Amino acid sequence: MKSLLLSGYNIHIGVDDGKLIIKDGRDWEKEPTEIIMKPKFVDYDHIILYGHSGNISLSAIKWLMKQKVSINVLDYDGTLLSSMDPPQSKTGLVRLAQYRAYNEQRIDIAKEIIHAKITRTKDMFDWLISRYPELNEKMKLCNFDKTLEDLKKAQKIRDIMGIEGIIARHYRDAIGQIFPDKFDFETRGYGRTNRPLGAVDPINALFNYGYSILESHCRKAINGANLDPYIGFLHETRVTKEPLVYDLQEPFRWLVDITIIQALENNRFHKKDFIRTEDYIIRLRPTGVKILVEELDKTFSQTVKYHNQNNQWGMVIQMKVQELSNYLVGKQKGIDIGNPEPILKRLDNHEIREKIKNLSYSEWEKMGFSKGTLHYMKQNAKGNKPFTLNQHVRERLETL
């Protein structure tokens, strides 16, 4: 999965002699570049427009749709303003089945969505605690076993949403403890609406932009599966809202979360990547959006074993939405949105860090390693940055 970000002034996308000609925008941060693509030799799945001015020709839109490339337009605050996805073969039978399921199976499908989200939240807690053991108390508050039992018994949408809300609150409180102080993060919900829209700190801005990019992936998957984005199962139908898009983001929000957390741990973002507008809202500069898109591409391109083959997580989203479509029309008996499970493992967990910090140089030399290597490892173990270990060193440390 790969995205092309275009930003700045005077972006141009056109076609000449059958080739797509893309001219990136100009601003004070970068000089414009030109990209030429030939049909059937396209490296991108999404084009993200985050520019101030420019144009895209009708022939370019047609070219991109035929090459299965989505066009996504981001607003200055990270909101996904518009998506244009490649056409798919359509059948009204899927949507008729979706409408019937809304009346007859809504509760069961909503439970499946939240069950998957709660399971992924537990996975994220386990991953976080391996590095930040102080978050264990927050995880205990979730009481995941009881929560999943309560979910089974729930008979109303508001009860299901209430269960999800409690877990989400504890999770947000937990991750809020690990973000750098320089970014002034307090909470994901604020103001009269208790919602994170219109970010007032860089962390919330990152999440808003990240979830919008996830939204574009879900929109594309919904379009490909012939489903109606305006009829969801968990979120209520509202004017101008697309509840099915919101539904299908829930089990995959962890992809954005883990990307942002790792990027912050690696100091990928700096205060210069953000700007505060006149109405005190934080937005990302093009440099910050570029970093975020690159990091998300890495995450969405990671593979997981599913259906006896390795699939990228970006493709898994499309597969799970197609499975929902197949379930609605009776092509498969059930749905399991939580499958496949991600393999989340830290090489720099708390246990390994403590072993390195407490290891003596003499003991290390007896194991056949140099003092210089241990000194470097001790520096890493005492710092906040993630680090890696080669397999031989890790195996020896694990035996101590």
pLDDT in tens, 97-138: 999 999 999 999 999 999 999 999 999 999 999 888 899 999
Q: What is the mean pLDDT of residues 38-57?
A: 91
The answer on pLDDT for 197 being more than 70 is: no
Judged against a pLDDT cut of 50, whether residue 48 lies above it is answered with yes
Predicted confidence band of residue 192 (pLDDT cuts 50, 70, 90): very low
Q: Is the pTM of this model over 0.75?
A: yes
- Boundaries of CATH 1.20.120.920 in the chain? 92-328
Predicted local distance difference test score (pLDDT) of residue 90: 75
pLDDT for the residue numbered 196: 55
- DSSP lists the bridge partners of residue 312 as 303
Which of the two residues, 387 and 257, has the higher pLDDT score? 257
- Residue 189 is predicted with a pLDDT of 60
Residue 317: pLDDT above 70?
Answer: yes
Give the integer Cα–Cα distance in Å for 341 and 326.
21
Least-confidence region, from 76-85, 86-95, 103-112, 311-320: 86-95
184 by DSSP, 3-state: which?
A: coil
* Of 156, 160, 124, 125, residue with least CA distance to 139: 125
Mean pLDDT, to the nearest integer, of 213-224?
94
Q: Are 86 and 68 in contact (CB under 8 A)?
A: yes
Rounded Cα distance between 98 and 92, Å, is 10
Which CATH architecture fits 3-74? Ribosomal Protein L15; Chain: K; domain 2 (3.100)
Q: What is the mean pLDDT of residues 197-225?
A: 91
For 75-84, 176-185, 298-307, which range has the lowest pLDDT when averaged over its residues?
Answer: 176-185
80 has which bridge partners?
74
Mean pLDDT confidence for 220-243: 90
C-alpha distances (whole Å) from 271 to each of 183, 285, 320, 379 are 8, 10, 37, 25
Mean pLDDT of 144-171: 95
Pick the CATH number of 92-328 from 1.20.120.920, 1.10.10.10, 2.10.109.10, 1.10.4080.10: 1.20.120.920
Residue 365: pLDDT band (50, 70, 90) is confident
Give 375-399 pLDDT, tens digit per residue: 888 888 877 677 777 777 777 777 7
Flag whether pLDDT at 195 surpasses 70.
no
Taking residues 84-100, report their average pLDDT.
89
Q: What is the chain's mean pLDDT, rounded?
A: 89
The two three-digit tokens of residue 289, written as one number: 């959006």
Task: List the single range of 42-56, 109-123, 136-150, 349-363 with lowest mean pLDDT.
Answer: 349-363
CA dist 93 and 338 (Å) reads: 26
Give the pLDDT of residue 183. 84
Among the listed ranges 55-64, 73-82, 190-199, 260-269, which one has the minimum average pLDDT value?
190-199
Count of other CB atoms within 10 angstroms of residue 230: 14
H-assigned helices in the chain: 58-66, 92-104, 106-129, 136-142, 144-153, 157-175, 202-224, 243-249, 253-265, 286-301, 313-328, 350-358, 361-366, 371-382, 391-398
Beta strands in 30-87 (DSSP E): 34-37, 46-51, 54-56, 70-74, 80-84
How many whole angstroms separate alpha carbon 231 and alpha carbon 105? 13
Q: What is the pLDDT of residues 130-152, one digit of tens each?
A: 888 899 999 999 999 999 999 99
Domain with CATH 3.100.10.20 in the chain: 3-74
Task: Provide the pLDDT for residue 66.
Answer: 94
